[in-house]
Structure 1
Amino acid sequence: MSNAAGTNIVTVLEHCRISPPHDPSLTETFLPLTLFDMLWLNWPSPGRVYFYDFPCSTTEFKQTLVPHLKNSLALTLKHFYPFCGNVITATSLSDRTTPAIRYLNGDSVSLTVAEFSGTNSEGFDHLSGNHARGVDELFALVPELSRGGTETDVGNNIHISPVLSVQVTLFPDQGYSIGYRISHVVADGKTLSNFIRTWASINVKQLNGENDFDNLETLPFYDRSVIKDPKGIASIFLQYSLRTRLQKDYEKAFAPAADKNTLVDATIILDREQIQGLKNSVSDQVPRVSTFVVVCAYVWTCMAKTRAALGQDMNNGNQVEEHFIFAMDARDRLDPPIPSNYFGNTIVPCWATQKTSQLVGEKGFANAVEAIRNALYEKINNDEGPLKGLEMYFDRNEATKGQVKFGVAGSPKFNYYNADFGWGKPKKYEIVSEKFGLIGSNESEGGLELGFCFSKMEMDVFTAIFTQGLLD
């Protein structure tokens, strides 16, 4: 595997498939897609990487770490078996195939075992740092997830898409990383967090000689009947997804917004005092604002100012609206609420809208705070609950084509840094190639890690504006 410069930075040691222990009762299982899953049918599969500071030799890696990780992954997939399967959907608007995750006995997850073979300057400390690193470098640690577009079962007229692939990479005598790529159709952040925590817990039990792997609070709940769809939103989303796939917009959805070889990822840490300072600066206009709202609002205004500084006038004289889209977990807000360990997606998108001129002006930060808070309240405080207006999501998306839109990945609610496989907690969790990611900080108690993906020029300007704004 190589980066854009053609330098081999990762050598693949092994490709294998990991299956759960044989269960004769699970010969063929279908988990129907709900309206929340259908939202992501044409969405690119996100990539993530955990970095672990655990110096070990190639021999120890091959003989100890990898065998334990393989075995604990298989035991975890016993409980999370849909991750071994495939998403199946129709190939035409007239077909009546029920969209589902299909698991067949013997299905498996792709696991790549690799070793970093670049120079020390490109190695563990560089890739796990907060400074700007090439996205192509980080992608060397994330496995490919083949798309179903080339895996269509013509005879049965179904489109087949794999769900999960994993890569474990050794940095000799420095540490290792666990990277993965996952279909968003199958899991939201909560489900994925439960999966990783379960895998880590089982690996620790295995290292300690324990064999009680079936009594963990993170094990999934699969009953799809708890998701109600009185408006038929699932059908609306499915029809839209199939139409865009047939129109070849499906291919465009998987193309990066820019050539990934020109992009860099960087992380900015906000500590508790800085976050409180942001809250204080808008307390007169917007009292009692949450950390999530105030931080996202600040990022939004800094992005608008960055575009203005670079002369990227995408909004016709700053008068056309632009949009910040964020996710709200509906598990606790559905009627009745559903279990926190429900397997699948339960997030709904919230839209905050402002004109660019309102964001870059003197009151831009307060305007952004109010817009995001109002978008959140709109989902919470209404008679229809979090599903209000959800059926119009793709219509709204179409109506705002050409306007500035961006969202946020990750969540400060999930403690990614608790994923200890028995050899220490992660040094770094990286959301790869997302314009904006937000998680709890590993370095600052009560702080946040903000991950960004821009061109190098955009990153330099954005960072300067972001940093100066905190000082003003």
Structure 2
Amino acid sequence: MASLPILTVLEQSHVSPPPATVTDTSLPLSFFDIIHLLRAPIHYLFFYDLPLTKAQFIETIVPNIKHSLSTTIQHFFPYAGNLIVFPNRTKNPEIRYVEGDFVKVTFAECNLDFHVLTGYHPRNCDKFYDLIPLLGDCHKISDFVKIPVFSLQVTIFPNCGVAIGMTTHHRLADASTQFNFLKAWASMRYR
């Protein structure tokens, strides 16, 4: 007997800052950034007790998250940018944002027990991997490699709660900037 899939993807979106609000920008990495260039991505996972149906999630939460994220990354535009690495080492790596860059956002549904995952007891960490997004594919472009630096996944556990998983490249932001981004995003008003 086949088991049910743990995760069902409901929608995959590309969220960009509002059009014409951010100019194309390159931020060169410092010597200390380059030292840590090959470190593994950083993962964050937040759980919210929010008993919504799947329909309520799709109709209200999904559009609100896309709108608030778009507005927030207008002010934190490197999150929508990419790490640019020059293989021939003619230039130092940089984080570059150009009009049209985006954050990959996945909306999904999970059939695991929300209360088991969030309870105060030991649990198998393998259950959490499906709630964390991958950064995305690298692309080789003429004389450089383009690497995404941020991705987001919002997962509903119907009638129980929601999990927000984030993956950031180690060089995107320090802890202070990351939490400033989260505070700014959390404070966005829905219109």
TM-score, normalised via structure 1 length: 0.39
Letter in structure 1 aligned against 2:97:
Y
Partner in structure 2 of residue 243 of structure 1: none
**Higher share in helix:** 1
Matched, 1:54 2:50: yes
Q: 1:298: which partner in 2?
A: none
Which fold has the larger relative contact order, with Cα–Cα distance below 8 Å and residues 6 or more apart in sequence? 2
1:75-224 to 2 correspondences below 5 Å:
75-92=71-88, 95-117=89-111, 122-146=112-136, 148=138, 151-153=139-141, 155-156=142-143, 158-202=144-188, 205-206=189-190, 209=191
Tell me: CA distance 1:173–1:162, structure 2 relative to 1, closer, same or farther (3 Å). same
Amino acid at match of 1:167: Q
Distance 1:105 1:32, change over 3 A: same
Aligned-residue offset at 1:107: 0.3
2:95 is paired with a residue of what secondary structure? Answer: strand
Find the structure with the greater CA-based Rg.
1
| Structure 1 gap segments, 5+ residues each | 210-472
Q: Please give the per-residue CA displacement for 1:100-152, whole angstroms capped at 9, x wherever unaligned.
A: 101110100000000112xxxx411111223232222101111111353xx22
Matched, 1:66 2:67: no
Distance 1:146 1:6 in 2: 27
* Contact persistence 1:164–1:180 (CA under 8 A): yes
1:8 and 2:24 equivalent? no
Q: Where is the strand percentage greater, Structure 1 or Structure 2? A: 2
Equivalent pair of 1:39/1:185 in contact (CA under 8 Å)? no
Identity %: 38
Q: How many pairs were matched up? A: 190
Give the secondary structure class of the aligned counterpart of 1:78: helix
Residues 71-108 of structure 1: CA distance to partner in whole angstroms, max 9, x if unpaired?
A: 0000001001111111112214xx31231101110100
Q: What root-mean-square deviation, in Å, do the aligned CA atoms of Structure 1 and Structure 2 show? A: 1.8
* In structure 2, C-alpha distance between the alignment counterparts of 1:46 and 1:171, rounded to whole Å: 24
Structure 1 counterpart of 2:29: 33
TM value normalised by structure 2: 0.92
Unaligned ranges ≥5, structure 2? none
SS of corresponding position for 1:169: strand
Could you list the per-position Cα deviations for residues 340-393 of structure 1 after superposition, in whole angstroms to 9, with x for gaps in the alignment?
Answer: xxxxxxxxxxxxxxxxxxxxxxxxxxxxxxxxxxxxxxxxxxxxxxxxxxxxxx
